Amino acid sequence: MKRPMVFSRDSALRENERRIVPQPPPYHSAIDFANHNRGSPLWLANLEKQAVSSKNKAIRAYLFRFFPHALVNIPDATLHFLSTMTHYTRRKQQKIIQSLSYLVKDSWFPEVQAIFTAWLALVMVFFLLGYYFNKAPFTWHGLSLNTWVSIFSTIMKSLLLFTISGCLSQWKYISFSERRRKLIDFDLYDGASRGPNGSVALLWSMQFKSLASIGAVITILSLGLDPFVQQVIALGEISRPDSSTAIARVIRYAEGTQLKANSRLNSRDSSLQSAIFAGLIGTEDSILQQMEFRCAGTRCSWQPFLSLGVCSSCSNVSHLLERATPKANNRTLQWVQFVNDKQVDGTTTSEVRTFGLPNGLYLEEYGNSKLDLVSFGTSNRSETLTFKRNETLLWSLTVIRRVQFNPPSSTADFMALECGLSYCVQNITSMVVNATLSEEVNPLPVVLSPGSFRPESSDSDPSPGSLWTSHNYSRTELQLKWGNEFFNLSQVAINAIGYSMKSLFVMDGGRKLGATGFYIDLVPVEKRAEDESKEPDQDNGATINRPWSMQQIYSQNMTAIFEALASSMSINFRTKNTNRTLVRGTILVTVYKVRWGWIALPFMSVLGGTGFLLVTMSYSHIHHLPLWKSSSLSILKVGRQMGDIFTHEESIGEMERKAEKMHIGLREKKQPLMDDSESTRGLRSPENYELHSPISLPTPHLPNDGNSFISLPLNADPTPGNIAQRISWEEEDVGSPATRP
């Protein structure tokens, strides 16, 4: 059974409304609906609703990506608020982008920032040069100081040229705003902004009559910035205190051992004895290298210091030689005893010639028998010729040496020398160069302290006049004084040194026939001349010498031998001594040196660039010029309005020749040709400008295409046809976007 339909009042009203209100025709797509209802209030309301809903969905989806649990159900009002805030943020970002674009493109901010950064780079160069001045070369991650200075100088140069280029480009418009100029000048300014070639051309043409010449000069000088900066840094050497640099000195020497046997002493110092032997056979330079030192560099030096040492001196006493001719009698001759090594008495049958010195040393000449050298060594100053007042005498050696053999001889055929060694205080200046030591040693006047080397008993002195004694006789230490410093030698050390010298220069048995040593060359004179290449001891007994040191005394320079002995003994004092002290020195290190004069060019270039920027900014402000600088669009703007000036000119030379004959100028217009709202920010300015020819024409009304330059060639025909043709060309060019290239 079919159920009857029941209509309520509300349902009836709805049914009536449905029947009265015409229903929209069925739409097959959203496009049909939009085309049918476009522009109606219902269509606009629905479109706004869909837009809000679309934004809400987009925001909801965006937020759901990051907050999937907390943003499940967000009211549409909240989403609408978020949408509004997002739109506000985007507008704010666009304003910031526009402001930044203005700073970068339409202001002096890039140039000011560039010159400021160039100053910072130059300051960094000054800082590096000042900080590492007189400091050792370094390498940080493979980069040396030269590299860092080169980096900052390159930054400085690049930013300086960027600033100069912008200023020179702006001077194209500054110059033409002041007065009419040749069109070729426009090309000169533009070329100067591109590099040194154009700058040279600008200077040649302008003859320094334009302020733009400042920028051209700086551009040319920039070629020398890199070489000048590289010349700033050099390498030098300075002395610097270094704790690892050391050399020894001594203020007390007490080495050696002493053995007592009844009333006799036997003292030994093996290290010093070795030093004496080394001094006898070596040279002073080779002996000096045995000195111990520490030097970590190629060159070290020490300030003068004082040290206890041994000094030498030699004197020629040939003038004291005397000749005596004793009568022949029954006695032993020197030559006979020295050759036979024993005393042999005999009766002389011919004259015996004797050459002697006041200290008892003499040399005999009998017939053809020949003595080449006799010596007398002693530590007693009373037995010397030139050291009688030397209270620190260590050893003295007097020799009579034959110079030539021409019997019967005279005093002219002999030479007499006396050399001595003394304890002294030395003023030493040391230096090491490439591991080779050199020293300047200056002996100081000897001053003994009161009570120095005094007997400690009331017994009589067994060796008066001598520091060394072989007797058991106790004394205080020998003390030398210089200024406020004292230098001591113990009695044990003095006795050991004296014993070593006696064993070296005194033959066994002591003094015999006035001598403690001799040297005889038994080879005849004529044979010796034939066999000079042989050493004396290699001549099968052809030489006789006692002790062995006489061979060195005879064959070498005696003065040099004693200097080497003194040097060797002094070095032994300083190295083989438990009481030595170390002197700290300075080391010569390789450091950076700065030749500040070479930094003048970079400094003056940046300073000149700063001044040139300020002048350019000032002139641009005075003439109310837009900051087109090096923009190619501004050149296209000018060229477009100049029209077909270079219609028949194909080569650069033809265009330049025509530009030489054409004069144009930039003048201020009273009314702008475009509205600020329609112009771009780069072309917006309080005034607009036009390039004009000498013929004044009324400015035609042009569409708002953003152009503010009108140009005519100097020989243009100001007929209405020409003007109409140019206006129609510009109108065609600024037509609809579809027709633009």
* 3-state SS record for 631-676: CHHHHHHHHHHHCCCCCCCCCHHHHHHHHHCCEEEEEEECCCCCCC
Q: pTM for the complete prediction?
A: 0.60
Q: How many CA atoms lie within 13 A of 90 on its CB side?
A: 6
**According to the per-residue pLDDT averaged within each range, which of 47-56, 507-516, 700-709, 712-721 is highest?**
507-516
Q: Which amino acid makes up residue 706?
A: G
Q: In the chain, what is the greatest distance between 2 CA atoms, to the nearest angstrom?
A: 196
Instruction: Check whether 399 has a pLDDT greater than 90.
Output: yes
Residue tagged 């930054």 (tokens): 155
pLDDT tens digits, one per residue of 523-555: 654 444 444 444 444 444 578 888 999 999 998
Contact 268, 256 (CB under 8 A): yes
pLDDT tens digits, one per residue of 491-534: 889 988 998 999 899 998 888 888 999 999 876 544 444 444 44
89 burial level (CB within 10 Å; 0-12, 13-18, 19+):
exposed
Contact 386, 317 (CB under 8 A): yes
- 641: tokens are 């309005």
Q: CA quadruple 503, 507, 509, 515: dihedral positive or negative?
A: negative
pLDDT tens digits, one per residue of 649-686: 778 887 878 877 777 776 554 333 333 333 333 333 43
Instruction: Check whether 406 has a pLDDT greater than 60.
Output: yes
DSSP-assigned states of every residue in 357-401: -TTS-EEEEETTB---EEEEEESBGGG-SS-TT-TTEEEEEEEEE
Which DSSP symbol is given to 138?
-
Q: CA quadruple 608, 611, 612, 613: dihedral positive or negative?
A: positive
118 burial level (CB within 10 Å; 0-12, 13-18, 19+):
buried
**pLDDT of amino acid 275:** 92
Instruction: Check whether 97 has a pLDDT greater than 50.
Output: yes
Q: What is the spatial distance between Cα 186 and Cα 174, in angstroms, rounded to a whole number?
A: 11
Instruction: Check whether 413 has a pLDDT greater than 50.
Output: yes
* Domain parsing of the chain, residue ranges: 9-104, 252-578, 631-741
Q: CA quadruple 688, 689, 695, 699: dihedral positive or negative?
A: negative
Contact 386, 315 (CB under 8 A): yes
**What's the count of helices (H) and strands (E) in the chain, helices before strands?**
21, 26
**pLDDT of amino acid 251:** 92
CA dihedral 497, 498, 503, 508 (to 10 degrees): -170
pLDDT tens digits, one per residue of 222-246: 998 988 998 999 998 888 888 889 9
**pLDDT of amino acid 678:** 36
More confident residue, 727 or 186: 186
As a residue count, the chain comes to 741
